[in-house]
Amino acid sequence: MLSQKISYTEIAEAKRMFETCRNVVIVSHISADGDAIGSSLGLYEYLKKKGKQVTVIMPNYFPDFLKWMTDADRIIQYDRHRAMAKTFITAADLIVVLDLNEPSRLEELAVPIMKSNAKKLMIDHHLHPQKFCDLTISYPDASSTSELVFRLIDAIGGVSSLTKAGAEDLYAGMCTDTGKFSYNANDPDIYFILAELLKKGIDKDRINRQIYNNFTEARFRLLGYILSEKLQVFPDMHATLFTLTRDELSRFSYIKGDTEGVVNLPLEIKGTKLSIYMREDTERPRIFVSIRSVDDFPANKMAAEFFNGGGHLNAAGGQLHNMPMSEAVEIAKKALEAYAKLLTA
């Protein structure tokens, strides 16, 4: 039996929202990852089975390796289909915001969402949630938003209300947000949830292959280039850093998702505590920063202090705007110096 995490008050209010709504829009953050897509489609399956009209809208493109999920092809991409998305948002009486803690993470999609008069429900596991929804269910100690969606569905209607497709979605979200359960996954409840998902008949081995063994040849050649040419190792700091420019991405026919998980690989080097990856956006003058760490090194604090970001203790990220990669690298080196005591302890 699951321990109590979501409060009874929150469960009751969410249940009331789900019972009284007719048209639901589910949204998640820019450059959606496995947890964003998994939690969104998992909740979509649950609400659809309850007879609701449900639409999932994402701000932009999401990786091909997530498109195997049932009804992933029905997700509306806002940056390509604005008029259609706005029509559904206008008709919605409930908007569910998943896996983000502030409207800015929706980027341009935030404008029609914030203008909507629909009730708004946030379910998230990031620190410092902004209060822009009627109900906020936020638990940063959860492994993923997909875990919280499962807990809410279980509390409201029981696991019997979850379809096999929904179970696959939530498993994928939990799996990707914990690095195949290699970090932020010490809570015994996680494995109780996995057992319940397996009872739905999901094939976790097949799902893992679809997520992790579904890349292009170009992705593997890019990976080799990163490891042989781009990876900087700072052995005295127990840290690593690698970067990719727009030209380098083009050279390897980059598509979104091609570097998913690569930031974790340097942590396999003996003694490494911190991995930083910086990538130029292919569309805008900004640099995406991904940070991964082990044990108690605060990746989220480094992201907030140096990279306009945040996240979790061992998995965080941010962005740098309107600067060359060389300047971004200097900022990263300053971050390493600032956290030298923790890295060398």
Q: What is the mean pLDDT of the chain?
A: 96
Give the domain-ending residue among 212, 237, 259. 212
Q: Structural domain tally of the chain?
A: 2
pLDDT for 59 beyond 80: yes
C-beta atoms surrounding 74 within 10 Å: 11
Cα gap 249→281, rounded to integer Å:
10
pLDDT in tens, 28-47: 999 999 999 999 999 999 99
Region 221-248 average pLDDT: 97
Domain match, 183 and 238 both? no
| pLDDT value at residue 224 | 96
pLDDT for 345 beyond 80: yes
Band (182; pLDDT cuts 50, 70, 90): confident
Domain match, 226 and 120 both? no
Contacts of 98 (CB under 8 A, 6+ apart): 26, 27, 28, 36, 39, 40, 43, 122, 123, 124, 145, 149
| CATH of residue 98 | 3.90.1640.10
Domain limits for position 250: 217-344
Domain match, 106 and 157 both? yes
| pLDDT value at residue 76 | 98
Judge whether 3 lies within some domain.
Answer: no
Range name among 54-58, 83-87, 124-128 with the lowest pLDDT average: 124-128
| pLDDT value at residue 324 | 97
Domain match, 202 and 228 both? no
Band (283; pLDDT cuts 50, 70, 90): confident
Judge whether 337 lies within some domain.
Answer: yes
User: Which residue from 145, 151, 136 is spatially nearest to 99, judged by alpha carbons?
Assistant: 145
Domain match, 281 and 206 both? no
pLDDT for 200 beyond 90: yes
C-beta atoms surrounding 337 within 10 Å: 10
Judge whether 1 lies within some domain.
Answer: no
Region 81-95 average pLDDT: 98
Contacts of 88 (CB under 8 A, 6+ apart): 23, 25, 55, 57, 76
pLDDT for 261 beyond 80: yes
pLDDT in tens, 123-178: 999 989 999 999 999 999 999 999 999 999 999 987 888 999 999 999 999 999 99
Domain match, 51 and 77 both? yes
Judge whether 31 lies within some domain.
Answer: yes
